[in-house]
Chains A and B, each alone.
Chain A
Amino acid sequence: MMTTMAGPGGDTRPATGEDDRLLARVAGGDRAALTALYERHHRPLFGYLATLLGDRSAAEEALQDTMLAVWNGAGRFEGRSRVSTWLFGIARRQALTRLRRRRPEAVDDGWLAAVADPRPGPEEQAVAHLEGERVAAAVARLSPVHREVLVLAFWQGLTQPELVEVLGVPVGTVKSRLSNARKALLRIMAEVG
């Protein structure tokens, strides 16, 4: 049985000042700092990776490689973004490396844009009243690119500029990807009934 978070995102984000200090220590070769950084971030990172990859073991491997990349790359962090955003950027690259090897279904945003009518239809009105579990099941059936943007936005609570940074796409693409994720979700739920 799953639990539904009352406030998505916010409570999974540790304070940033401590992260900066820990990362500086990691850059200096401090293993205890890496351990502390792992403890603070492994849950959100693992949740993101597992949701994106759809597979626990692949997510664990990606998380391992993410932490090793953090160890190797900590000295290159310039503090222009939050540490957590930077971590998600690294984790994303690790996940994409794996997705490339077993390329996920190609997502045609243009096609998805045409799937749902912008006016709320009966199924759209129905979705508003659905319970979290049913929506979660539908989210699990979305394409990785759509699962990803939803998890980052709603579970991690990344702001729009942070989504732009982590996903590496223009702000218009972030907006359209969110919108298309919603439409794809509605379609899946309509199909499932």
Chain B
Amino acid sequence: MDAEHVEELLPGHAAGTLTRGEDEHVAAHLTGCGRCRAQAAQWRAIAAGTAALATAVGDPSQDLLARVLARLPAADADRAGAVTCSLPTAQAARTRPSGPPAASARARPTVGPVPVPVPVRPGRPRSVTPAGSASPRGLWQLVVRQVPLVGSGLWLAAPLVLAAGTGTALAAILSGEPGASALAALVLSLCAPAVAAVGVALVYGPETDPGLELALSTPTPPRLVLLARLALVVGYDLGLALLANALVAAVDPTLSFWPLVSLWLGPMAVLSAGSLLLSLVAGPTAAIAVALTVWSIQLLAFGPARDAGVVRALADIWELALTGPGAGLAAAGLAAAALWLAPRREPA
């Protein structure tokens, strides 16, 4: 979008919800910009049409308040009792539409099919307190219920990539050629961080993941949902990488388990944390692109330009930031920033 235009402010301008300064800025811009003026007129028409639709809905049944009040004694009893835990269920969030709504040109709110009557349980609004899910059992349930919510592609892609990497590494070792161990270690150190960074980028994506948005709309604190998914995906990728690591170390007697782990653990942590932060700020696609770009820096050391000064400098930065003790700090800082950015919600 052209920065000179005020398109993003036009809905607020039509709704009358801008600050005075913003409103004046928009008004001044509109006097000289036909394009924004045309769009502003559209927004005014949309505002009027939306208000007309919502107004046409009318009032609810007159006895609705009485029905609410009639349910209060039971609700009051609930209030004193234990609060039930209603974490998002995979089945609910994954349910797909049974068909398109019955489109209606009439400006009445009967745009969808008549829903299946919802059984009304007396006085039991589904609610959960953060304390309800903060128990070890509640947290475990939360993590487990994220499993089907995370895209199935993610569960399949990680083992496939790591299996391919491990296979390549093992083939190199078994070939017995000089430098085979170094190549095996390199392949592993390339695969593990990339798999984790891509997986984590897809942890948060309300635009592409209706399941998550529904999960975030539950009373479970959004940060907790995000953390549960993060723990699940990182734990999964970490477990797979450790398994691959163990296999390679077992087959090659010159490679030890922990030194091998140290090659990929730092980059995995930093790239994953950075990827999560970027996915929150700029979306999953940008996060994956940036993470893989940073990840690919290490490949330059094997390319034709490996002796160039800039490549060496980049390799040094990579070493400094993504391996060793600095990596832990960098990953923790990036992850903390990501959690701070996670959507907040008023508990109800």
Contact = CB atoms under 8 A, between A and B. Distances in A.
Pick the most buried of B48, B126, B348: most chain A CB atoms within 10 A of its CB.
B348
Contacts of A175: 8
Interface string A108-119: 011000000011
Contact of A7 (B16, B59, B97): B16
A61 B67 CA distance: 10
B339 interface: no
Contacts of A129: 41, 45
Interface of A is mostly: helix
Contacts of B345: 89, 165, 168
A14 interface: no
B12 interface: yes
A23 B72 CA distance: 16
Pick the most buried of B17, B46, B106: most chain A CB atoms within 10 A of its CB.
B46
A182 B11 CA distance: 10
Contacts of A89: 345-346, 348
Interface stretch (B153-161, B210-218, B264-272, B291-299): B210-218
Given A48-B54, A157-B15, A102 B109 contact: no
Given A42-B60, A159-B12, A168 B216 contact: yes
A64 B107 contact: no
Given A8-B51, A104-B112, A43 B59 contact: yes
A26 to B, nearest CB: 11
Contact of A72 (B42, B51, B125, B208): B125
A106 to B, nearest CB: 6
B48 A120 contact: no
A22 interface: no
B65 A38 contact: yes
B22 to A, nearest CB: 10
Contact of A154 (B46, B109, B125, B280): B46
A68 B11 CA distance: 33
Given A4-B51, A72-B125, A168-B217, A158 B222 contact: no
A124 B38 contact: yes
A124 B43 CA distance: 11
Contact of B15 (A4, A119, A139, A153): A153
Contacts of A60: 60-61, 64
Contact of A110 (B38, B207, B214, B348): B207
A91 to B, nearest CB: 10
B79 interface: yes
Given A8-B16, A68-B123, A104-B112, A137 B46 contact: no
Contacts of B65: 35, 38-39, 42, 67
Nearest to A102: B115
A92 B346 CA distance: 12
Interface in A1-37: 2-5, 7-10, 29, 31, 34-35
Interface in B9-68: 11-12, 14-17, 35, 38-39, 41-57, 59-61, 64-65, 67-68
Contact of B206 (A46, A67, A169): A169
A118 B43 CA distance: 14
A3 B55 contact: yes
Contacts of B98: 102-103
Interface in B105-163: 105-118, 120, 123, 125-127, 129
A69 B52 contact: no
A38 B68 contact: yes
A154 B10 CA distance: 12
Given A68-B125, A182-B43, 4 more contacts: A57-B117, A63-B60, A159-B17, A170-B343
Interface of B: 1, 7-8, 11-12, 14-17, 35, 38-39, 41-57, 59-61, 64-65, 67-69, 71-72, 75-76, 78-79, 92-93, 95-98, 100-101, 103-118, 120, 123, 125-127, 129, 206-208, 210, 213-214, 216-219, 222, 280, 341, 343-348
Q: When A and B form their complex, which 6 residue pairs have the shortest distance between CB atoms, in order from nearest?
A: A135-B49, A54-B112, A128-B41, A69-B125, A47-B54, A154-B47
Interface of A: 2-5, 7-10, 29, 31, 34-35, 38-39, 42-43, 46-48, 50-51, 53-61, 63-65, 67-69, 71-73, 76-78, 80-81, 85-86, 89-90, 92-94, 96-98, 100-106, 109-110, 118-120, 124-125, 127-130, 132-141, 150-151, 153-155, 157-160, 164-165, 168-170, 173, 175-176, 178-179, 181-182, 185-186, 192
8 contacts: A51-B54, A54-B111, A64-B120, A65-B125, A68-B71, A124-B39, A128-B41, A165-B344
